[in-house]
Structure 1
Amino acid sequence: MIISVDHGNKSIKTPNALFTSGLIVSEGLQGFKTDYICWNNKYYTLTEQRIAYLRDKTEDERFYVLTLFAIAKELERRKVPETLDPIDITLLVGLPPAHYEQLHSRFEQYFLRRREIVDFEYNGKYYSIRVSKVLSYPQAFAAAVTQFGTLKAHSVAYIIDIGGFTIDVLKLRSGHPDLAVVESFEKGVITLYNGIASKCNALYARILEDCDIDEVIRNQPTVLPGEVQQLIRTMTNDFLTEFYNFLRERGVDVSTSKCVFAGGGSLLLRGMIERGNKVAFPIFIEDIHANARGYELLYQSEVAANGQQ
């Protein structure tokens, strides 16, 4: 069975599931109606409070457990019955393009775990899995693959994948990667959230959550006072301007280049990017699951080319 998982710093995505990269661990069930996993005699439940940024997600077990949730959700969607007979899984994952060379081997081994059988309980159902193969791919490029039919028509384009903590930038020529520009910057929307929350607390003694900031950025109904809303909009515009200038220093001019935005951060900021009129030719990949679906397309292409799975 093939399962692809996009491990974002803000959220975990499979082709069909989306949930925040946050966990609470306990010794027993908490009594609330929430998704849970019992593994290694500990209970894990999902939370909207995301894990603090980890450049190397193999530092502890949390992203492994989040992956068990992702696998369980895919098994449930595919109506796989609970079983104690191991289900063999080919796991497809991804990394920021600029981190790929350094981290991909460690990342793959983190999930492979010597192909050991892993037993766990998910919402009262019992599963046994064995991750028999792990393949990793560059984020951003994977998202671009889902739009290859469109992108191959452009002689030069830049994929800009705005994620939780990283922004990945990849140059494409006729839909194929040009390694002249392969960058990953630690300037994602989490840095924006942190800056806004810190300044709002200092100026107005208000503690904001990410969802409070999202409401203002998306022009959704909010209970925040006008001065806080204005602060959020101003800091978000400054964030984007600083990023555009940052790209320009690296040879990417958004005022003249074809820019293809991917990732949850891009969807969050879409309205402000479009209203800012600083990006001449913005294209948005609207599917937040694009990286996870792109991993599957890349894998299928490899299988077709090699004639084996």
Structure 2
Amino acid sequence: MKFCKTIMQTIQKRSERNMNNKLEVIGIDHGWSMMKTISQVFVTGVKEITTTPALFGDVLEYEGKFYKVGTVRQEVKDTKVEDDSFYLLTLAAVAKELKRRGLAEAKVFLAVGLPLTRFGAEKNDFIKYLTKNKRVSFKYENEPYHIEIDDVAVFPQCYAAVVDKIPTMVKKTLIVDIGSWTIDIMPVINKSPDESKCVTIPKGLITCMRSINEQCVRQLNGEVDESEIQNIMRYGRSDIDDEYFAIIKAEIEDFVDKVYNSIREFGYNLKTTPIVFVGGGAVVMKNFGSHDAKNISYNLDVKANAKGELFVSMPRYRSNERDESNGVIYKDVCNPITAEFREELYTNILDAYARIKEPEKEETQMQDRTQGTKGSFEMPEFSVTVTPYEREGSNIKGLARIYFENSFIVNNINIVQGKEKIFVSMPSYKTKQVDEQGKPIYQDVCYPVTKDFREKLYNEIISEYEKAKDKSNEKARESAEKNHGNPDKEKDKEATPFR
């Protein structure tokens, strides 16, 4: 589509300014049972080795000490910053990801997660914990690594697992993230999480495994290794002794029932509310749950919270409106309005980003594109709708909307009365910066990038505004003439939109 091509030409020009961007984004899910990255899963366990190891598989060397990574799961603590365990596990996770990418030195941006309701209380401490050393040198599996931690971003775990799916959630949807230690329950309303109703329950899969072994000891005087229990949870079957298997199966089914009961206790209808199970426990709910309804679905990717998967998020703004649950309603500023164009646009944006991550390849391709596209921006086809708007004390005279090729829409365009004439104001947002006079600086969300197209677009918007205003005034005059002399409707004369 011509409009998509125009957008991509703009993105390509901007990508020239990012050629030297070599920041490595690494998403890590610091679970109490498993550490996860986009490509790796290993046990949340780290233990110091007091002598030089004979074998270096899964061995971390840091500050003169050796640590075996990923063996026995460590015990759950009140927070993840009480000791160096999760810091060391983070270095191991970074090394695994850098090795996959063929790197030994990198500037790293860490994207990590915390339980929903602990997010606010623990976020700052977790960032300080992971950034306590700006530059870090260490060895993993006897290979040296040198990293610079550029920054750390912390996200709510449950939200991170489904953030790319939220724009498709047209109905109120309940996200249930079952992790090692916690169960996070997050309702999504009007495509936005309702933070006021988010809940974290400290009864995750580890509590289920503890209960299983308590029953095994009580009934059979023996325990089952956690790795065996996890295999049964994952696959629903095992070749272990039938008596042990029966206990494990019964306890897992009891755990699943308790999860559903918790959802019900928080006021959700198990038969009508769309429910999405995510996290390591999603497969447990699928394999052992008794509810097999159309409204229940499962994201079985245990790395979903860590993937940091790339997706495109169009600009939105917080409106003054509230939903039936008194939650804030967010509205789109601009967005694709057809599935075909959305797929084409988002794919092209992600492709452009991927090229930035390959500077040498991008540099060669950029020369060809620059020669072929320089000065060749095509004006897309568009149409405009305008609603006249009058409010006492406001200089906003109308609200406009632009449709590009019936595929993409731009909202929130203001028609403003200046000192001498009407002008068009494109969508923008208030930044935290101020100018020399101390006034806030606004940043454009979307705008024309060429003078010719800007003039054509703005003239069309103002022309449509004048037509809409004339039409509105004409209707007001007709109404006034029709009601002339009618005392009961005389008050309607005061309601004309333009005076």
Provide the C-alpha distance between the structure 1 equivalents of 2:272 and 2:253, rounded to a whole number of angstroms.
19
Is the counterpart of residue 173 in structure 1 residue 189 in structure 2? yes
Q: How many angstroms does 1:301 deviate by?
A: 8.6
Q: Which amino acid aligns with 1:40?
A: E
Residue aligning to 1:232: 248
Residue aligning to 2:200: 184
SS of 1:4 mapped into structure 2: strand
SS of 1:264 mapped into structure 2: coil
Match of 2:39 among 7, 16, 31: 16
Q: Which amino acid aligns with 1:283?
A: S
Is the counterpart of residue 134 in structure 1 residue 145 in structure 2? no
Residue aligning to 2:305: 291
| Bigger radius of gyration | 2
Q: Which amino acid aligns with 2:61?
A: C
SS of 1:161 mapped into structure 2: strand
TM-score normalized with structure 1 length? 0.88
Is the counterpart of residue 223 in structure 1 residue 247 in structure 2? no
Q: How many angstroms does 1:51 deviate by?
A: 1.1
Residue aligning to 1:59: 82
Q: How many angstroms does 1:20 deviate by?
A: 0.9
Deviations 1:47-95 (A, max 9, x none): 3311111231000000000000110011101001x35xxx321111110
Residue aligning to 2:131: 112
Deviations 1:207-259 (A, max 9, x none): 111122234343333222x2221111111111121222222222223233111
Q: How many angstroms does 1:165 deviate by?
A: 0.6
Provide the C-alpha distance between the structure 1 equivalents of 2:129 and 2:232, rounded to a whole number of angstroms.
38
Q: How does 1:124-163 map to 2 (within 5 A)?
A: 124-150=142-168, 152-153=169-170, 155-163=171-179
SS of 1:9 mapped into structure 2: coil
Match of 1:277 among 257, 282, 291: 291
Q: Would the aligned equivalents of 1:146 and 1:294 in 2 still touch at CA under 8 Å?
A: no
Q: Would the aligned equivalents of 1:158 and 1:172 in 2 still touch at CA under 8 Å?
A: yes
Q: Which amino acid aligns with 1:212?
A: E
Provide the C-alpha distance between the structure 2 equivalents of 1:42 and 1:229, rounded to a whole number of angstroms.
41
Q: Per the alignment, do residues 189 and 25 of structure 1 end up closer, same or farther by CA in structure 2, a change over 3 Å counting?
A: same
Q: How does 1:188-203 map to 2 (within 5 A)?
A: 188-203=204-219
Provide the C-alpha distance between the structure 1 equivalents of 2:98 and 2:84, rounded to a whole number of angstroms.
21
Provide the C-alpha distance between the structure 2 equivalents of 1:28 and 1:93, rounded to a whole number of angstroms.
32
Q: Per the alignment, do residues 247 and 233 of structure 1 end up closer, same or farther by CA in structure 2, a change over 3 Å counting?
A: same
Provide the C-alpha distance between the structure 2 equivalents of 1:300 and 1:24, rounded to a whole number of angstroms.
45
Q: How does 1:259-278 map to 2 (within 5 A)?
A: 259-273=275-289, 276-277=290-291
Deviations 1:250-294 (A, max 9, x none): 222323311101101212342112xx1266622111222111124
Q: How many angstroms does 1:3 deviate by?
A: 1.3
Provide the C-alpha distance between the structure 2 equivalents of 1:278 and 1:103, rounded to a whole number of angstroms.
36
Provide the C-alpha distance between the structure 2 equivalents of 1:65 and 1:296, rounded to a whole number of angstroms.
27
Provide the C-alpha distance between the structure 2 equivalents of 1:230 and 1:174, rounded to a whole number of angstroms.
43
Match of 2:100 among 77, 82, 90: 77
Q: Would the aligned equivalents of 2:256 and 2:284 in 1 still touch at CA under 8 Å?
A: no
Q: Which amino acid aligns with 1:71?
A: V
Q: Per the alignment, do residues 294 and 91 of structure 1 end up closer, same or farther by CA in structure 2, a change over 3 Å counting?
A: closer
SS of 1:54 mapped into structure 2: coil
Q: Would the aligned equivalents of 1:171 and 1:180 in 2 still touch at CA under 8 Å?
A: no
SS of 1:67 mapped into structure 2: helix
Q: Per the alignment, do residues 65 and 52 of structure 1 end up closer, same or farther by CA in structure 2, a change over 3 Å counting?
A: same
Residue aligning to 2:372: none
Where structure 1 has 5 or more consecutive residues not aligned to the other structure, the ranges are none
Provide the C-alpha distance between the structure 2 equivalents of 1:174 and 1:109, rounded to a whole number of angstroms.
34
Q: Per the alignment, do residues 112 and 254 of structure 1 end up closer, same or farther by CA in structure 2, a change over 3 Å counting?
A: same
Q: Per the alignment, do residues 49 and 299 of structure 1 end up closer, same or farther by CA in structure 2, a change over 3 Å counting?
A: farther
SS of 1:184 mapped into structure 2: strand
Q: Would the aligned equivalents of 1:158 and 1:260 in 2 still touch at CA under 8 Å?
A: yes
Q: Which amino acid aligns with 2:118?
A: H
Provide the C-alpha distance between the structure 2 equivalents of 1:220 and 1:29, rounded to a whole number of angstroms.
40
Match of 1:89 among 97, 108, 122: 108
Q: Would the aligned equivalents of 1:5 and 1:91 in 2 still touch at CA under 8 Å?
A: yes
- Bigger Cα displacement from structure 2, 125-134 vs 188-197: 125-134
SS of 2:305 mapped into structure 1: helix
SS of 1:241 mapped into structure 2: helix
Q: Would the aligned equivalents of 1:254 and 1:278 in 2 still touch at CA under 8 Å?
A: no
TM-score normalized with structure 2 length? 0.56
Q: Which amino acid aligns with 2:115?
A: P
Q: Per the alignment, do residues 102 and 300 of structure 1 end up closer, same or farther by CA in structure 2, a change over 3 Å counting?
A: farther
Q: How many angstroms does 1:297 deviate by?
A: 5.0
Q: Which amino acid aligns with 2:205?
A: V
The number of residues matched between the two structures is 296
Provide the C-alpha distance between the structure 1 equivalents of 2:282 and 2:293, rounded to a whole number of angstroms.
13
SS of 2:196 mapped into structure 1: strand
Where structure 2 has 5 or more consecutive residues not aligned to the other structure, the ranges are 1-23, 317-352, 354-428, 432-442, 444-499
